[in-house]
Structure 1
């Protein structure tokens, strides 16, 4: 075999929480090699430069910092026998289950029996959000900010406005506080903060900040350095200038789906994630997708649990156990924006953690979820937790047990 061709049994593209957890689960159970390729110099994903506690709660039963969480995931994957190749960028496909990549050793081809996409999601930068104004220095996404502060140990400004008020927004506020930058305002288009109450209420006190609801940024002012932003109240049209030298753009996630699109695989138009069924397999046999590229964006521990869930499905595929695949498409009705998985086989398998994951654009305190087929309601379930913008809404997948396969496409909606 040529030196520039690798032939692992399982190739995992992406060394974040979902990819590393999948490697840890599969390493001892797969005949042959489990290979993780990661474009960064150290595996671990976003938690690696998110230096505050709050990680590992659901998957490890711990409450630890992002870097420590990433370290444990790397350690477990390595101890399980998986190989982690860093500084390795997958560039294109070389076959249905083969890719080309560049690494410090040069260009390589990797041919596998199973490929797992675990490339995660990213926040949209300013150009993609179409925010007008001056092009001054001082505008970051959360990932940019945490990279600058925690990996490069550089400073930012002294007064920041955070665009967004979801969980990642408070993560950005913690990072700003770490370098002595005060968060003077959070701004959100929604009528109430996106994050859980026990984050937003104490957060306003701890960070001595305000949250401007029903507002949007209409202009960034100042060059070569940011000096202020202009925000507009969406209900009254009133505009205000907020003095600041730093603007953090949080949320507004998009999957890192370039490999999915270049493969010509179906993409859910509502969130641009690859279409998968409840086994996390795409429409290409042997190609799976996990983590936040499917549900942009959920917490790191939920992404990691995708990695744990996919292992059994991969092993069944490698053993030649092919599930009956005649899936039904699953869509949503406003205010729900997307659902994951977006296809189901209804053959006894359940999505990870027995949950459908959804995103809503409107707050509903005690939602009643309904499933529709051919315009008629076929199942309903009252939930005792809210559907809230800015965080994933979880629905027990047992609601699917009332579906009639013969009636085709399923629509998930909220009963008015």
Structure 2
């Protein structure tokens, strides 16, 4: 099978890119996804708040997934659910892939490939939490699928590990399924979500947030979760909490298996493929978008990232055979954990005209700054930095980047009363 563009992943980024590619005249657009139906994580996220930035209306997760799926199908993209891309090759003749499904194994030659495989929460094993391995230990994604797609009831006591936006969503899902949420547990000194979320959880469901606390052991009985040991990260005492469900939330990592298979350069900060502002990876013809490159932004931001990638892929296909301009690396410095995109094509702004950034530590009234070879390119207004919570740096300044200069370094300086944003 041949395709002008093969998109791997039918979540918001992949579906939005497919519709945009078809709208721009790309004929053969194939979207492959290993799930039974397209739509990605919003399919099993029943809370509202989806679609504000891209569709300009507010929808529930399932309604948003249907809207993006219908738009891509109406545009003429070929949506193939239940298909797993098991291999990606980025050779001199253009990218190619192996697609495996119930119908067999197919080889796909494409003019370009867009990786939109999204991200996932770091599971218990990756967080090195010791103890037994009973049932009842979940991630938010598994929890939502069991509750909203399979209709399961989860009675009993539950602990949620994490205090990010998604952690409060997990608490709501548990309450909807019949569980009693004992607390949200975070090793951070404070929660990482909005104050309204914390207040709502405390008032509506009587759910406290235990800060500076870590889960240090899991105990099972007869194959089921029985208790969890929690300890203060500052040397405080340990205690054992009897519970029936333990949900690990947040701590996102990109689903980068295919990127590694294709030997794409990975960014040490995001852990996803290194990309420039055109969403191009280190391999010609291979692009990446959505939460694969910025784990994890909201679904509508991922969708707009996919649209941006589609526009750049269309230009790439039209300019086949022409040399690809070199890009300038972007380096995130302390106290920032990562920045995306992590390279600049000086002629192209990133999606939404801004860089996505994750802090590594708390800072009050910090200003983000971008420097190249000793020249200040940009300075943000004063911001509050919170680990795990996104901040953004507007990108109009990228046109001032010297293509022959050194890397652009983005960090944070303490805000003073003098000096405005650039």
Report the TM range for the smaller structure's normalisation. Answer: over 0.9
Matched with 1:334 is 334
Matched with 1:62 is 57
Matched with 2:418 is none
Matched with 2:420 is none
Give, in angstroms, the shift of residue 243 of structure 1.
Answer: 2.4
Matched with 1:3 is none
The correspondence for 2:31, drawn from 36, 41, 44, is 36
Give, in angstroms, the shift of residue 82 of structure 1.
Answer: 0.6
SS state at 1:394 partner: strand
SS state at 1:414 partner: strand
Whether the aligned pair in 1 keeps the contact of 2:26 and 2:314 (CA below 8 Å) is no
Count of residues paired in the alignment = 409
Which of 116-125 and 325-334 deviates more? 325-334
Whether the aligned pair in 1 keeps the contact of 2:87 and 2:261 (CA below 8 Å) is yes
For structure 2, the 5+ residue unaligned runs are 415-422
SS state at 1:58 partner: coil
Matched with 1:142 is 140
Give, in angstroms, the shift of residue 227 of structure 1.
Answer: 2.0
> What are the superposed Cα offsets for residues 133-183 of structure 1, whole Å, 9 maximum, x if unpaired?
122221000011111111121222421111001111112112111111121
Inter-partner Cα distance in structure 2 for 1:372 and 1:155 = 53
Matched with 1:48 is 43
RMSD after superposition? 1.7
Inter-partner Cα distance in structure 1 for 2:220 and 2:113 = 47
Whether the aligned pair in 2 keeps the contact of 1:371 and 1:410 (CA below 8 Å) is yes
Which of 381-390 and 203-212 deviates more? 381-390
Matched with 1:16 is 11
Which of 264-273 and 288-297 deviates more? 264-273
Whether the aligned pair in 2 keeps the contact of 1:327 and 1:344 (CA below 8 Å) is yes
Matched with 1:343 is 343
Are 1:303 and 2:298 matched, yes or no? no
Give, in angstroms, the shift of residue 184 of structure 1.
Answer: 1.1
Matched with 1:251 is 250
Query: Under a length normalisation based on structure 2, what TM-score does the superposition of the two structures give?
Result: 0.93
Give, in angstroms, the shift of residue 94 of structure 1.
Answer: 5.0
Give, in angstroms, the shift of residue 228 of structure 1.
Answer: 2.0
Whether the aligned pair in 2 keeps the contact of 1:149 and 1:155 (CA below 8 Å) is yes
Inter-partner Cα distance in structure 2 for 1:28 and 1:399 = 30
> What are the superposed Cα offsets for residues 88-122 of structure 1, whole Å, 9 maximum, x if unpaired?
01111355311011122211111111111000011
Give, in angstroms, the shift of residue 323 of structure 1.
Answer: 7.5
Richer in strand (by share):
2
Whether the aligned pair in 1 keeps the contact of 2:291 and 2:297 (CA below 8 Å) is yes
4+ runs deviating over 6 angstroms: none
Which of 262-271 and 396-405 deviates more? 396-405
Whether the aligned pair in 2 keeps the contact of 1:138 and 1:156 (CA below 8 Å) is no
Whether the aligned pair in 2 keeps the contact of 1:381 and 1:399 (CA below 8 Å) is no
SS state at 1:26 partner: helix
The correspondence for 2:127, drawn from 129, 139, 143, is 129
Whether the aligned pair in 2 keeps the contact of 1:99 and 1:111 (CA below 8 Å) is yes
The correspondence for 1:110, drawn from 108, 111, 135, is 108
Give, in angstroms, the shift of residue 402 of structure 1.
Answer: 5.0
SS state at 1:8 partner: strand
Inter-partner Cα distance in structure 2 for 1:339 and 1:280 = 13
The correspondence for 1:166, drawn from 154, 164, 167, is 164
Which of 138-147 and 190-199 deviates more? 190-199
The correspondence for 2:214, drawn from 192, 213, 216, is 216
Are 1:281 and 2:280 matched, yes or no? yes
Whether the aligned pair in 2 keeps the contact of 1:49 and 1:147 (CA below 8 Å) is yes
